[in-house]
Amino acid sequence: MHNSQIQVSDELLKDIESTVTWALAEDLGAKPGEAPIASNDITAELIPSDARAVATVICREDCVISGVAWVNEVFKQLDASANDTTQITWFVQDGQSVKANSTLFELNGNARLLLTGERTALNFLQSLSGTATLTQQYVQELEGSETKLLDTRKTIPGMRSAQKYAVTCGGGHNHRIGLFDAYLIKENHVNACGGIDNAVAQAKANHPGKTVEVEVESLNELEQALNAGADIIMLDNFTPEMIDTAVVLTRGKAKLEVSGNMTIEKLKAYTAAKVDFISVGALTKHVQAIDLSMRFA
């Protein structure tokens, strides 16, 4: 299946550039602020500097692809450091479901550069495809309902934009990106503010127009959040029975999100109540990379 609607924004492209630079520097021993230098790969030095090669990358298991732009950026930066050109031919695209043993892309270029970039490129592709693949499994369980699957902020440090992009490749949706673009008022915020009413009122006064979401742990707190005018209410660790009651109490006054130890096996029970969102930290927290392999022709 191809998903031609997935686009890499200009903002994300800038993030990809800096993230790849950091990853290559980690492998090539570059100091902070210095560009990675491909010639620092002492094992690749064993190969003649003018040797050319063709390599193919295949997946060893069924998966959903995510990470094309990261692979491209790895070899773009290595090419720049060595004044060379690597040709990349893709046979898949982000958001596409592929079968085990499918060829994902082909590399044609300097043999040293192909080997230097191999692990960094595959690290991005295997990890992001793992997130996209797991996300698709959750989305398939929600098929037929109007409930949207959301990610969380439980991401690998430095990889948030990448992982949230991977979630969209799998058919999921992004929750807030960080602490700056929307409110999520949790128990500790409520306690520090002196109650849900005070917290919501202060949020609306500080940043009018920002979405205000409140996490609640009981039906009593739900009613407080509704009365305070919250836009979204997160039902934390509610049972399906409590959620049924919450939907009746809310009656469209706010959007409802279910969260807390959510597993794929639990989804059906929670979607039956017709909540608006289910957020799952496991999408980006429990990363199981896809098995990929690169082989020289």
Which residue numbers are catalytic? 119, 154, 186, 215, 236
Beta-carbon contacts of 63 under 8 Å, excluding residues fewer than 6 positions away, are 97, 98, 129, 130, 132, 133, 290
Nearest to 37 by CA among 45, 13, 122: 45
Find out whether 71 and 24 touch, Cβ atoms under 8 Å: no
Distance between first and last Cα of the chain: 28
Residue with token string 């063709």: 54
Nearest CA-CA partner of 126 in 84, 54, 88, 74: 74
DSSP code of residue 4:
T
**Dihedrals φ, ψ of 202, to 5°?**
-65, -40
Q: Please, are residues 163 and 131 in contact by the beta-carbon 8 Å criterion?
A: yes
Residues 126 and 287 sit within 8 Å (Cβ to Cβ): no
Count how many Cα atoms sit within 13 Å of the Cα of residue 294 in the half-sphere of its side chain: 21
Amino acid letter at 22?
A: W
CA distance 89 to 109: 12
Residues in the chain: 297
